[in-house]
Structure 1
Amino acid sequence: MKLVVYKKNDLIFSMLFKSNELLDIKVDNINDPEYSSSIFLGKIKSIANGVEGYFVDIGLKKDGYLPFKEADKEYKIGDYVVVQVKKEPSKFKGAKLTTKLSFKGKYIIYYEADKSVKTSHLFDENFKSDYVDKVYRLLREKESVIIRTQAKNVDISKIEQELEFYRKKAKLIRDISHKAIMQLEPKEPCYISMIKDYVGGIEKIVVSDIEIYNNIVSFILANDLNINVEMIIDKEKLENLYEVEKHINRLLSKYVWLESGGFLVIEETEAMTTIDVNSGKNTCDCIESSSYSTNLEAAKEIPRQIKLRNLGGIIMIDFIFMKDQAHRKEVLDVLKNGFSKDNVQTTVYGYTALGLMEIARKKTGRSLFQTIKASKQENIPSAV
């Protein structure tokens, strides 16, 4: 696989390719950064018993909300507290906070909670038991880890090294003596996060910016990774090789054309995302047959589109009506199978009474469109 990191004005696109297929994409907005997983030293501004939490000044426009159940102890107004952002601030609400720190590594996700070991849902069941026992014995009280899929082929010593690194990092952050509201650690760049997510699978990284190139090389050397890094400053050459703008523009459009001639209409709203499946040019004398073939193709493409666009929350899909129950079940099974490969928690609830497909996917920051929409640069296509 190749990771292409492409900077355009205030946006940094991190795009993962296998051959010519786009597998994943993440975007950093330099002028309007996301705060998910960022760590702050904040100050308790008020105690809100009605909503069972504290409001914490962390230096952003809106105070963050720290639920009592996410606090490590009882605080008073004016107390300083180290907090991490669990949920991005929105137009109407401040960030949701926790005092229980977590860090994503190459092989584990380390977090402060009652001692436990979990594994990625993509893990082989036969591999879990012995490995989990070994990792559990490495933990201290109030330490938990999630073993990532990438850990399957590494020695347990690598897990131990990463665990010790994040254990020390958490202690250093907590031991800070300075008393002022500040950001202690920003959200890591998407290109670093993607290297961690696909460690062992990325063979080459292509970069269009010297500063990003230096950051990536430093990370690779520090983590003893065997990845070739190439810099291509000529953006026209980069576009000819990887068609980055073409891929981005397709993902910003609400229309997705299927090979059969059918198409999807994907629309984001405040409440939910809706996906409408249309037969388009895929028509024949048998309506059931054309509906079934279009729906089946859509069910294969929809999980990919949801992942690439980073859509989360409630997602409703309006498939073309089918009478045949076997056809309806097969479309549902294909959709579930597509989401089984997604590393973001997704639940497919099935058909509602109105025949809509109901899905819930964990939100992991802004959607692709929201991130790009927040950019002030020109020539960004609208979602039409």
Structure 2
Amino acid sequence: MKWGKGGDVLIALIISLGLVPIAVDAIGVSPSKVNLPHMSRGAEAFRELSISGIQPGQEVKIDITGAAAGWITPEKQSFIFPESDSAIVRITIRIPSDAANGIYSAQLRFSSQRPAEKGAATVSVLGAVKADVTIEVTGEQRNEYVIKSIKVPTVEEGQEIVVLLDIENTGNVIAAPDMLQMTVLDKHQKSMIWARTETEIDGVPPHSRGIARVKLGYELEPGQYWLSAEAIENGINVFEEKLGFEVAKKGTLSMDGELISLVASAASVGGKAKITGSFKNKGTMPVRAKLQAECKQNNWLLDTLSSDEMLVYPGETKDLAAYYSTRAPGEYEITGVVAYEGRETRKLTTTLKVLSVTPTGMAFANTFEHSGSLAIIAGVILAVVVIIIAIKIRRK
């Protein structure tokens, strides 16, 4: 069959189409389903999602839809993907105090525009992936938890001794044992030094794992000791442990802390933007830490912010949160530092985006649910064009 001049054009067109790659982001999210059963009204839960398959340096946008969309707050509405295989997105779920019993759902969608490759004609495709959130609201209170361990951090002479209970709370109410019976023994475990029962115990929020703190309430001389602890719930011993701990001489423990990250969550005008600083205690003694931040625009200081003071134990990393009341749309510079025991960490700076409308529900109005959809449609359109050209050439 002779195609002639028109055939040459067709062949060239087909070859050129083969030289234009279609870039598709294979975005993944884990877990893809978040289930929160037996949530009570007014309860709060926290979850982490891992996002992968995005090129470093690309902006990732988060959109939330569904009946429970207003209950879910990500720590940031958008972020730049880091130089790593994955990124962690933390979300907070707060159940309204007037929510009716029932099953509620929401979807978190993550989207990213893949950049064109240098030196090649590349069709950029918007990739998207979603995570489903299902929440059951019930009027039934469920006190369900497990104590994983009990520890006593080393402190210096004169410092407050605290007993730490590692609790995994699977219920829908704040969890802690009714009482903790504590007995302090000498280093040979032969002589009892002191005994006490504590009933006021800091609890762990529903559907989360955290640390409940109990003050020992007794000062000890420098040395090594043993603690025998029994957790009691409804008159039943639910956990017991015997462990050694130490009280060090003054000046023997080190103090060091680092502000690891500073994140400003996007907000709309009239709302409150959450500023989160992650502080790590790199020393060998507990410290009280507080986030202090400044909000500026065009080098003008608009406000100073501070978080509540938190006790951070050696090796622990705590998120310290401050809030900025937004007044006008735009970008703001947030500079933060953590003050602890008369010292300060290095400063970090981040950008706060304040939107003129509520960010939820905007990003995905004109996007495809799956990144492969656009590639398929583009392929179909190109195939149709090739067929039409072929028919016209044959008729000639």
Greater share of strand:
2
Return the index of the structure with the highest Cα Rg: 2
Greater helix share, 1 or 2? 1
* TM-score of the superposed pair, with normalisation by structure 1: 0.25
TM-score, length-normalised on structure 2? 0.24
